[in-house]
Amino acid sequence: TMPPNSLIFRLAIRLPTIYSRINPRNPTQSVIFRAVPSLTSSSSSHNCQTRRWAHTVLQDKGAVPIKLWTQGLPQLERQAENQLRKTAQLKDVIHPRGMAVMPDCHWGIGATVGSVIPTTTAIIPAAVGVDIGCGMIAVQTDLTSSDLPDNLRPIRNAIEKAIPHGRSGSGNASMDIGAWSKGTPDFVMKRFRDELADEFSIIKTAHPRIGRGNLDNHLGTLGTGNHFIEVCLDERQVVWFVLHSGSRGVGNRIGTYFIELAKNDMRRHLSSLPDADLAYFRQGSDHFEDYVRSMTWAQKFARINREVMMALMIAAVRASKAFAKPFKTHVTAVNCHHNFTNREVHFNEEMLITRKGAVRADKGMLGIIPGSMGASTFIVRGKGNPDSYNTCSHGAGRLMSRAEAKRRFTVQDHIKATSRVECRKDKAVIDETPAAYKPIEKVMAAQQDLVDVVHTLRQIVCVKG
């Protein structure tokens, strides 16, 4: 991407708003950049006194445009840029208005995390990914910082005891600490039977492989990696409960299965694709509707998973007696996906909008953008920016790989970075240390035309898998 302080970028602003150059990474590739203005006034007139540059547009010859909200952030990693360029070559699948890329973007398996891909008659399963429906839920309470105990460790202990998290025994149901290994609780099982079981029976009958593995014993469980549960304080010192998780093992099976199925269906055409992971299902093809049904079900599983965990968290904190008084929740509640496909209308056309690591941000819609451990989390309200297909970022975005973070940082670095948070401070979570992620404040600054900040939260307790 083009650094906002670069000479080329400044010239693009002062002279024409469109120019082309030769891509230094590939001298045969012609690239077009545009610096696109965003008005700080609500007026649509370009005579407004204050103007800033909201995003840049990158376009290769013969590809759809890529709209990037990455200004003020470190240069996009080469892997991610190459991945975006390859995706943009699918001009017969992606809408000609092009892709949108959020400020937290980084390389991902199959497709770039932080990308928004609009299609009309096809879906790319790898662009949705394997953690289908992964997202956030946040609940505001009527507690304040003055109600907090001096020692926050009992709160963390209560949450860790109530909600399965992590992974062991190679995910074997009877040995996995991250599953209900001693039996799924009755109220969790009831939600599965009432809201998920019938539809899943249809899915697994058509595709038996999806039915083999963890299922209801993963409902109400956290998982590993960047999934978390937190107690936070906002700018008013009001207590919030926040968590991040998705569709767990069954969502992974659905994603993996259909990614391979798309490749198999397109095996005669794979050589013509920019990347085999970009195999897609055309509307009307044998497996298009099957994938839509399975993906939609996984999104529902993920939403219910978060709701169940939030109920478990609230009950556990109440039972711990950590707070001196009873408290109410659901003063404000937000539950949003950030790995999903949805049918939406943009520019007066119905489209299939695939967001991988991106949050829907219709005008007035509430969303959640978390930072890393020890950084701020934001409750936001969407502005409905049409250029981004009404989308904002889903978090801070990784600055480096997990392996690189483990090489670069020590336990002492992590302890210092999370000094204000009651959380794990051992080598197993070094890859999640705050410095492994982009600065969330810069991510938020790059998307001021996408969302307004409603509340700014900071973690005081964090549970990781």
Catalytic residues: 394
Query: Per the structure block, which two tokens stand in for 411?
Result: 């336990």
| Alpha carbon 23 to its chain's center | 30
Nearest CA to 225 out of 457, 439, 430 is that of: 430
As a whole number of angstroms, the distance between CA 341 and CA 354 comes to 4
Q: Are 270 and 279 in contact (CB under 8 A)?
A: yes
Query: Per the structure block, which two tokens stand in for 406?
Result: 């483990």
Nearest CA to 331 out of 394, 243, 241, 244 is that of: 241
Please enumerate, as own/partner, the contacts of 261-267 that have beta carbons within 8 Å and a separation of 24 or more: 261/125, 261/287, 261/291, 262/124, 262/125, 262/126, 262/287, 262/291
b/e 18-30 (16+ beta carbons within 10 angstroms → b): eeeeeeeeeeeee
User: Which residues on neighbouring strands pair with residue 352, listed in sequence order?
Assistant: 119, 343
Specify the DSSP class assigned to residue 400: S
User: Which residues on neighbouring strands pair with residue 238, listed in sequence order?
Assistant: 144
Query: Per the structure block, which two tokens stand in for 76?
Result: 């996009």
Nearest CA to 134 out of 293, 336, 354 is that of: 336
| Alpha carbon 191 to its chain's center | 25
Residue 363 Rama label (left phi>0; alpha psi -120 to 50; beta): beta
DSSP-derived secondary structure for 315-383 = HHHHHHT-SSS-----SSEEEEESEEEEEEEETTEEEEEEEESEEE--TT-EEEE--STTSEEEEEEE-
